[in-house]
Amino acid sequence: MPIRTDLDSLDMAFQEKAAALLGRLREDPVWRQHGYKPMVTETRRDLAVQMAYYSRSRMNPADVRLMFEAAGLWRISESEARIPSTWTLKSKHLTGRAMDLAPSKDGYTPDWGAPEEVWRRVGHYAGELGLKWGGDWSTTPDRPHVEMI
């Protein structure tokens, strides 16, 4: 299974905080007003998946496609292969100390274009739980990303 979305695969300390974050977002009035529920899009990551993500924009698109195929990921288009999706080979996803989540109206489809106020609630609750939110990163914000400090 190339992309994991289960909380059980996470580090135990992070697992509890991740569950608490999802619970708070389910009850959040801003999320509810917009009709959103939190959807986990990725938890613990295999090294092959991390390497495939890292290859985007760093290798020619044909080689990126081979990396994605070898990792058991989706068929990536040439234009997708040119867009970076990670800046490190040492992601906290590899140790189960990070997850990605998104607002979803149906529980199956992430809404990457959700209003900023919805995304800011992720950062608010992550901070309350002692977590780091990728949306606060100054150089390259990553709004779906939450990790242990």
49-91 tens-digit pLDDT = 999 999 999 999 999 999 999 999 999 999 999 999 999 999 9
**Per-residue pLDDT tens over the stretch 83-126:** 999 999 999 999 999 999 999 999 999 999 999 999 999 999 99
**Per-residue pLDDT tens over the stretch 17-46:** 999 999 999 999 999 999 999 999 999 999
| Mean pLDDT value across residues 129-148 | 96
Give me the helices (H) in the chain, please: 12-27, 29-33, 47-55, 61-70, 78-81, 116-128
- Dist. CA 109–CA 135, nearest whole Å: 20
| Mean pLDDT value across residues 118-141 | 97
Closest of 9, 45, 41, 4 to residue 22, by C-alpha:
41
Where does the pLDDT of residue 2 fall: very low under 50, low under 70, confident under 90, or very high at 90 and above?
confident
The tokens for 68 are 């994605």
Q: Residue 7 contacts by C-beta under 8 Å, 6 or more apart in sequence?
A: 15, 18, 19, 40, 43, 99
- Dist. CA 37–CA 31, nearest whole Å: 7
User: What was the pLDDT predicted at 148?
Assistant: 97
Model confidence at 1: pLDDT above 60 = no
